[in-house]
Chains A and B, each alone.
Chain A
Amino acid sequence: DQQVKQNSPSLSVQEGRISILNCDYTNSMFDYFLWYKKYPAEGPTFLISISSIKDKNEDGRFTVFLNKSAKHLSLHIVPSQPGDSAVYFCAARHSGNTPLVFGKGTRLSVIA
């Protein structure tokens, strides 16, 4: 049973446009959500997070939106740049220092 789902394995976006990566979760106990970015031959790097008490968190070109009623979160990248091309993982956990649960990832390609 997959608790964190990224239903789009890949996404292609033109440079300068908005990239929207989506993530759905099933466990209503999750209260902390993160996005990681992964380049080939490197480990995932933390990008941005959001707590369940918020519905939006912004950091430069990256914004994460959380819709708790729909159990859905999304990552917006605007404007998209070629260096954003990577695999993006959505992850979630609930309180009590429980393990992170990852989605399967979405490969973003930003085309110049």
Chain B
Amino acid sequence: EAQVTQNPRYLITVTGKKLTVTCSQNMNHEYMSWYRQDPGLGLRQIYYSMNVEVTDKGDVPEGYKVSRKEKRNFPLILESPSPNQTSLYFCASRRTGQGNSQPQHFGDGTRLSIL
């Protein structure tokens, strides 16, 4: 089954304790991205990656890091989490090429609470 898998689905942690949210896709997609969803703000992009070893900042990259060492994985790293990073996070992937008409496939989300 084609899917984007995020782990963990839920995490409560404390300020300053480094954490990583993993994202894996089994569709051989080149493009992957991370979003956060906050009430009244919709989905905002944090980082994206066009392919292996190619990453770029989205709209709200501060406080986050990513890496793309393999095509299928795109972890989101919070080196020193703070309470304003409490949010619902989504990973997504899609094909590139074939023009512009490739929709993104989303994971089921990771709810992070930073105390």
Task: List residues of chain B with CB under 8 Å of any chain A CB.
Answer: 4, 31, 33, 35, 40-45, 48, 50, 58, 90, 92, 96, 99-101, 103-109
Residues of B within 8 A of A102 (CB): 35, 42-44
Which of B4, B45, B108 lies in contact with A100, CB distance below 8 A? B45
Chain A residues bordering chain B, tally (CB within 8 A): 27
Distance (Å) between the CB of B105 and the closest chain A CB?
7
User: Known interface pairs A41-B108, A103-B42. Does A34 touch B103 (Cβ–Cβ under 8 Å)?
Assistant: yes
User: Known interface pairs A100-B45, A104-B40. Does A31 touch B100 (Cβ–Cβ under 8 Å)?
Assistant: yes
20 contacts between A and B (CB under 8 A): A31-B100, A32-B100, A32-B101, A42-B108, A42-B109, A43-B108, A44-B90, A44-B106, A46-B105, A93-B100, A95-B99, A96-B100, A97-B31, A97-B50, A99-B45, A102-B42, A102-B43, A104-B42, A105-B42, A105-B43
Of B31, B42, B45, B90, most buried by chain A (CB within 10 Å of CB) is B42
Task: List residues of chain A with CB under 8 Å of any chain B CB.
Answer: 6, 31-32, 34, 36, 41-46, 49, 51, 89, 91, 93-97, 99-105
